[in-house]
Amino acid sequence: MSITITSHQLGRLIARTADHIGDDLTPALHGIRLDADTEYLYAVATDRFTIAAARYRHHKPDSENTAPAAPFARTIPATALPALREWIRTMPGHDPVTVTPADDRIRFAAPTGELAITIDPDAEFADWRGLLRGVTEQTPNTGEPVFPALGTRLQARWQSADGVVRVRATGDHQPVLVVGEDFLGAQMPTRTRRDGFSTDTDTLATLDDVRTAWQDAFSTGPAITPQTALPSPPQLRDEASKTISEVAEDLLKQALHSTRLLTAVDTSEATAALATAGVTAWAAYRYLDALHTADPHLAATVVAETAEELDDGAISEWAWDAARAAGHDPQQWQTELQERQARKQAAA
């Protein structure tokens, strides 16, 4: 009945759902539900106003190395989550963590230690699968405007869901669907404004009401899009990519271009340079892909920091300092390079 997940991914499941935990007035919802089937481990939390489910694939259906684990579902009490999160932070992100439900415990075992949390194995939880299925299968209400009122305090809970999420609203009184990578959630619309008045009597309940209330502020000219109305920051010609997807695309493009041009060059130096560029780009892509799988947040940080270094332009200085910090002798490397260049010139 055990499943294995990296410590980083376990911590990420908790972080993406913790903001949606219900309060202690509803004990059944005062925690995070770990729900494992034969393929995914889910972390689910809900406070009745929002619901969030994040997942991690612990077993591939076509895997021949291990048999799928038996399904289980246990609720980790909110009071035990600080200890679990602190325990996760003490280990490297790539360390494997085995999650095993017991009679009245759920055990987490890693190479550096174990943690057992007391649980109620019979604790009930909301039918989250049915709830989210219902939200995804909602159809727009015919004749009803799609202009729901959403509590801004609740919207702040989605900041840990993903860097970018998609939303779908099908009616004023239907839950709004929130979708991210391996993430699914929903938020209930509110019927009461912050000042306590019902939205049923809100004078800004429709888009026509909004246009009427703001007509004095709107320009008398034609409507324009933000892309044409707002200035964009200047783009440097050598500006480095700052997102993981852009960097991955650039590396793959460089690997393909360099290797395809190998047969089109004449000199041995050009051939060697293209071969080196292609091999290096492919290696960098593989490393980035592995890092993104193991620790997406660290990958994003490294990409952003590297982009700043590339924009700075002092690559040789950064490399020199990194070599010295790693215990190498960059001056000796420079001397050897100059000696090789001198021998080539003498032979020519």
Of 58, 88, 118, the one marking the end of a domain is: 118
Of 85, 118, 151, the one marking the end of a domain is: 118
| Residue 236 domain-assigned (yes or no) | no
Contact 146, 170 (CB under 8 A): yes
Enclosing domain of residue 105: 3-118
Q: Report how far residue 58's alpha carbon sits from residue 40's, in angstroms, rounded to the nearest whole number.
A: 6
| Residue 208 domain-assigned (yes or no) | no
pLDDT per residue of the chain (348 residues) written in tens, 0 to 9: 789 999 999 999 999 999 999 999 999 999 999 999 989 999 999 999 999 999 999 876 665 556 666 789 999 999 999 999 999 999 888 889 999 998 899 999 999 999 999 998 888 899 999 999 999 999 887 776 788 889 889 999 999 998 889 999 998 889 999 999 999 999 999 875 555 555 555 667 788 888 888 888 887 778 888 777 777 766 554 566 667 777 777 767 666 666 666 666 666 767 777 677 777 778 788 888 888 777 777 788 888 888 887 777 777 787 778 778 878 887 887 787 788 778 878 886
Nearest to 15 by CA among 82, 75, 72: 82
Give me the number of domains the chain comprises.
Answer: 2
| Residue 325 domain-assigned (yes or no) | yes
| Residue 74 domain-assigned (yes or no) | yes
Q: CB burial class (10 A; 0-12, 13-18, 19+) of residue 166?
A: exposed
Q: CB burial class (10 A; 0-12, 13-18, 19+) of residue 142?
A: exposed
Contact 132, 186 (CB under 8 A): yes
Of 118, 151, 186, the one marking the end of a domain is: 118
Residue 134's pLDDT is what? 95
| Residue 79 domain-assigned (yes or no) | yes
pTM for this structure?
0.72
Contact 185, 51 (CB under 8 A): yes
| Residue 257 domain-assigned (yes or no) | yes
| Residue 276 domain-assigned (yes or no) | yes
Residue 237's pLDDT is what? 47
Contact 87, 14 (CB under 8 A): no
Contact 38, 59 (CB under 8 A): yes
Contact 21, 32 (CB under 8 A): yes
| Residue 266 domain-assigned (yes or no) | yes
Residues 6+ apart with CB under 8 A from 117: 76, 77, 80, 83, 84, 105, 106, 107, 108
